[in-house]
């Protein structure tokens, strides 16, 4: 149940002139990156290349050091972003519905209980609102995390390998669910899985090098979200694997 009023005109994401050093390593040196408005943009790359660092830059969790990070009109993204992490981060002493409302609870905002339950129903967890997280499977916990992300009603969603901890079949189901529930928002997602990037990405970039640069990958023209067994997807997956190995 996406909020159509919120996502009617989501912003693009622009990063220009990003310089980042972590310890003695230069992660980015004048990095440029763009994610188009209302689309899914995937980021691939070897471990340690800077994928999560790029998400943190966009989210404002790292200093920009003179870089521009904002939308296509020159506006900053403050207040526009929701984050979905690799781990579900559900608090075991709260119910499922209370975990969905966690952001509002921490901000002292009242209400939202009906919306939380409606979101849980939308992600296939109707009837589980009063359960504790330890009664859920890994895939169900990630559905709660997705509902919590949607509860924030932000037009930009950053996702850091949110489906990597579940089995392949559950992962494909969660990808389809994310495509449906987040459609129309500007989504930037990090993944180690070329197939996931190809299924969900309207655009896909490979980060490589030190300092890292972002290289776009040509994508098949299949209908989105792309079928995992489509010939064009399988061919593109092989091309991405070659790019990652080079």
- Averaged over successive runs of 10 residues, the pLDDT of the chain (246 residues) comes to 54 92 87 95 93 93 85 89 91 96 88 91 93 95 93 94 87 92 95 94 93 92 92 90 78
116 in a domain, yes or no? yes
Both tokens assigned to 167: 């089995």
**Range of 120's domain?**
91-153
Residue 69 belongs to a domain with what CATH number?
Answer: 3.40.50.300
Q: What pLDDT, on a 0 to 100 scale, did the predictor assign at position 187?
A: 97
Beta bridge partners of 224: none
Q: What pLDDT, on a 0 to 100 scale, did the predictor assign at position 209?
A: 87
Boundary (domain end) residue, out of 129, 153, 177: 153
8 in a domain, yes or no? no
Boundary (domain end) residue, out of 153, 178, 205: 153
Please indicate, yes or no, whether residues 164 and 193 belong to a single structural domain of this protein: yes
Please indicate, yes or no, whether residues 116 and 57 belong to a single structural domain of this protein: no
106 in a domain, yes or no? yes
**How many CB atoms are located within 10 Å of the residue 135 CB?**
10
Please indicate, yes or no, whether residues 62 and 182 belong to a single structural domain of this protein: yes
138 in a domain, yes or no? yes
Token match 């230069």: residue? 26
172 in a domain, yes or no? yes
Q: What pLDDT, on a 0 to 100 scale, did the predictor assign at position 7?
A: 53
DSSP string, 78-134: TT-EEEE-SS----TTS-HHHHHTHHHHHTT----HHHHHHHHHHTT-TT-TTS-GG
Boundary (domain end) residue, out of 132, 153, 174: 153
Domain count, the chain: 2
2 in a domain, yes or no? no
Please indicate, yes or no, whether residues 168 and 71 belong to a single structural domain of this protein: yes
Cis ω before 132 (30° cut-off from 0)? no
Beta bridge partners of 213: 208
Residue 171 to residue 142: CA distance in whole angstroms: 10
**CA-based angle 143:88:99, to the nearest 5?**
75
């Amino acid at each position: 149940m996406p909020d159509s009023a919120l996502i009617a005109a989501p912003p693009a994401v622009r990063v220009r002139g990003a310089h980042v050093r972590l310890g003695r390593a230069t992660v980015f040196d004048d990095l440029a990156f763009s994610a188009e408005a209302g689309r899914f943009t995937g980021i691939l790359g070897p471990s340690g290349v800077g994928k999560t660092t790029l998400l943190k830059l966009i989210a404002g969790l790292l200093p920009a050091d003179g870089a521009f990070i904002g939308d296509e009109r020159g506006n900053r993204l403050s207040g526009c972003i929701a984050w979905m992490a690799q781990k579900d981060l559900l608090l075991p002493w709260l119910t499922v519905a209370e975990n969905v409302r966690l952001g509002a609870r921490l901000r002292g905002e009242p209400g939202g209980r009906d919306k939380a339950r409606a979101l849980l129903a939308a992600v296939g967890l109707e009837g589980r609102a009063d359960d504790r997280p330890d009664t859920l499977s890994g895939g169900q916990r990630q559905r709660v995390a997705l509902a919590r992300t949607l509860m924030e009603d932000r037009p930009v969603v950053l996702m850091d390998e949110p489906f990597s901890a579940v089995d392949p079949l559950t992962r494909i189901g969660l990808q389809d669910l994310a495509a449906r529930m987040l459609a129309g928002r500007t989504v930037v997602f990090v993944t180690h899985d070329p197939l996931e990037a190809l299924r969900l990405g309207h655009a896909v970039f490979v980060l490589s090098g030190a300092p890292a640069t972002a290289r776009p990958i040509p994508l098949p023209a299949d209908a989105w979200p792309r079928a995992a067994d489509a010939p064009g997807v399988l061919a593109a997956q092989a091309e991405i694997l070659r790019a990652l190995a080079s």
